Structure 1
Amino acid sequence: MKSATIIGSGIIGLTSAIALQEAGFRVKIIAKEPFQKSLSNKVGAIWFPFEIAPKEKTNTWATNSYIRYLQDLPFPSGVSMIPFINAYIEGSNTDWRQQLPPGTVREAKKKELPNGIAQALYAEVPLVEPGIYLPFLFNQFLTNGGQFELKKISSLKELAELGQLVVNCTGLGAKELCHDKELYPIRGQILRCEKLDSISFADPTKKGALRYVINRSSDTIIGGTDYEHDWNPEVDPKDTTLILNRLKDSGISEAPKILDELVGLRPKRTAVRFEFDEDHLHVFHNYGHGGAGYTVAWGCALELAEVLKGGIKMVGKGTDQSRRENSF
């Protein structure tokens, strides 16, 4: 049986690990912290292609993730389908709607639009509740024979020495690990509140003025911020006020009761790094998913499994699906 080591315990690492197990690999996860402390445990986690490139690959990954989430609906997994309004303007990526089942997506009606949104798509999309879904995945990983080790990896050389096949799913940590100049944070601050009586929506059309409402089973996530190159991990009271004002401007007059304030640093890159390392040919990189980790995680993981079991042989560099022979 082939073996693989995954570095990172967030949604990208866990889905990659399980996809490889399903492809016949023996898998170990090494991470500097458990999934409970990862960025993936903080986010709203709705199926929503946000701040991620390249568009063509993103749409395919997002579609395959959508299909995979449907398989988890019958289980107590934290996955559900909810109505969601996604605002767009000229130049927005809306091509993903063509790849979903017929009737899944339609233009939102004017009466459905929150204040300040001129046009949007209305769709039934997967909502993933991290507090339920991440333990669901981790238990599945262990049940499949997976091993987990808490350990900080400090260099690409150290990472490359971990095994015959290593997959780097370290998110923003790859900036230091790989000296990746293209990788940078998009700081997101959100409010976890008592559940609101409103439709879930997102308006990413104004740079620096992201706003969204995500209604979950027992609470609501209200966001947010999208500050590029901002490394501040602390809650800013000014951003809390800003988020609440945007909520009010959206036409939701109900003042939410705040349960928690959270900050996460999304790992943004000019394009997702989904490729073999040039110098360490047994290392595969899978990071830089911006604010769309949950949206594309399963799509990336399933393609990763195809690549590593030999179904696809990559021979170049980058996410353009050039091919390179490998010896796995």
Structure 2
Amino acid sequence: MKSPNQTKNSVSVIGAGIIGLTSAIALQEAGFRVKIFADKKFDQTLSNKVGAVWFPYSIEPKIKTDRWAGVSYARYLKESSFAKGVSMIPFLNAYNDLKEEEWVKHLPPGTVREATEKELPKGMEKGLIAEVPLAEPPLYLPYLFEKFIDVGGEFELRTFDSLEEMNQLGSFVINCTGLGARALCKDKDLHPMRGQILRTEKMGVSSFADPTKKGALSYIINRSQDAVIGGTDYDNDWNENEDARDTDLILNRLKAFGVSTPPKVLEILVGLRPKRSAVRFQFDPQYPRIFHNYGHGGAGFTVAWGCALELAEELRKKVSFQ
């Protein structure tokens, strides 16, 4: 008798962050039997450190990622009525050129509007306001993991050193290893974009993001019990330690936006976003049973469901022809 991981509808997902968890659940919904392998649990991944507001930031190619973001928006909107940690919040996004904000076209009509002068923080010239999803990692990631397990999913802590080792699992494999794919795939295009953020007490100002200046990303995300303030976006920076200068930089930017009283800092978090010239979303040319889904930069939560649902459909089609 064949073991479960050798059956036609069996899939192994490598990685337990937001990309891995959503991929696993989408595959379950498409009828696959899924097992997640990861070197750490979801609460120790980069995904657990981030603000996780729906915000198409630093991710390519736009023609695909904006579509994935739109699909994810619809999924989160549906989940906001029942999933732990998911809610819809008003969010202001600064911009330079409206023509570059293609993500707007992938949201329901009437969702996005121009911010009024009164709504703009000090020093911000233009901005768009929309009701967008917020998926709080400390609540949403456990919800996803429990959902995955409750319908028969399996989980195993395991480290893989090569694609060849992954391929020996005897099933289709979805590579959701984030920055870890750099070594696994010998992918020199994949590199870290260092982010340092502050988790603070909730703030009495509206949530917003200003990504208009490279190297000076600023945002406030008010969550149910706290707020996340950022941040940094340093390319090719492998430093995972707290930097007091970055903390001061983040707080000083808040002052520039008109926040006169600094919030109480509860925690300083540092993470390395997996950035690539384009998300790698394809079957491996050497190992055709391995599908790569990594390199989502600063928009993992924003596009996760769009990627997951598309890859599940791709795999379903592939299996049906075998």
Q: Do both proteins adopt the same fold according to a TM-score greater than 0.5, normalized to the shorter chain?
A: yes
Partner of 1:202: 209
Asked whether the 8 Å contact 1:192–1:219 carries over to 2, the reply is yes
1:225 to 226, 232, 237: 232
Asked whether the 8 Å contact 1:5–1:29 carries over to 2, the reply is yes
* Cα distance in structure 1, aligned partners of 2:313 and 2:83: 28
Give ranges in structure 1 of 5+ residues lacking alignment. Answer: 314-324
1:38 to 18, 37, 45: 45
Greater displacement, 28-37 / 81-90: 81-90
- Tell me the alpha carbon deviations over residues 229-284 of structure 1, each in whole angstroms, 9 at most, x when there is no partner: 00000110010000000011111112100000000100000000000000000000
Asked whether the 8 Å contact 1:55–1:93 carries over to 2, the reply is no
- Tell me the alpha carbon deviations over residues 159-208 of structure 1, each in whole angstroms, 9 at most, x when there is no partner: 11123200000000000110001000100000000000000000111011
* Cα distance in structure 2, aligned partners of 1:209 and 1:227: 9
Matches within 5 A, 1:117-156: 117-156=124-163
Partner of 1:281: 288
2:27 aligned with 1:20, yes or no? yes
Partner of 2:192: 185
2:157 aligned with 1:112, yes or no? no
Partner of 2:70: 63
Partner of 2:220: 213
AA in 1 matched with 2:41: P
What's the CA shift for 1:90?
A: 2.6
1:164 to 164, 171, 181: 171
1:47 to 38, 41, 54: 54
Partner of 1:322: none
Partner of 1:317: none
2:311 aligned with 1:304, yes or no? yes
* Cα distance in structure 2, aligned partners of 1:210 and 1:283: 35
Aligned length: 315
What's the CA shift for 1:49?
A: 0.3
Partner of 1:320: none
Greater displacement, 247-256 / 8-17: 247-256
2:301 aligned with 1:294, yes or no? yes
* Cα distance in structure 2, aligned partners of 1:49 and 1:207: 15
2:89 aligned with 1:82, yes or no? yes
What SS is found at the alignment partner of 1:275? strand
Partner of 2:242: 235
Give ranges in structure 2 of 5+ residues lacking alignment. Answer: 1-7
Greater displacement, 156-165 / 224-233: 156-165
- Tell me the alpha carbon deviations over residues 112-158 of structure 1, each in whole angstroms, 9 at most, x when there is no partner: 11122111111000011000000000000001100000011111111
- Runs of 4+ aligned residues of structure 1 deviating over 4 Å after TM superposition are 325-328
AA in 1 matched with 2:130: A
CA separation of 1:158 and 1:122: change in aligned 2, threshold 3 A = same
What's the CA shift for 1:95?
A: 1.1
* Cα distance in structure 1, aligned partners of 2:205 and 2:98: 28
Asked whether the 8 Å contact 2:194–2:233 carries over to 1, the reply is yes
* Cα distance in structure 1, aligned partners of 2:176 and 2:128: 31
What's the CA shift for 1:92?
A: 6.9
Asked whether the 8 Å contact 2:16–2:45 carries over to 1, the reply is yes
- Tell me the alpha carbon deviations over residues 57-76 of structure 1, each in whole angstroms, 9 at most, x when there is no partner: 01110000000011211214
- Tell me the alpha carbon deviations over residues 1-52 of structure 1, each in whole angstroms, 9 at most, x when there is no partner: 6000000000000000000000000000000000000000000000000000
* Cα distance in structure 2, aligned partners of 1:60 and 1:264: 26
CA separation of 1:71 and 1:100: change in aligned 2, threshold 3 A = same
* Cα distance in structure 2, aligned partners of 1:21 and 1:181: 32
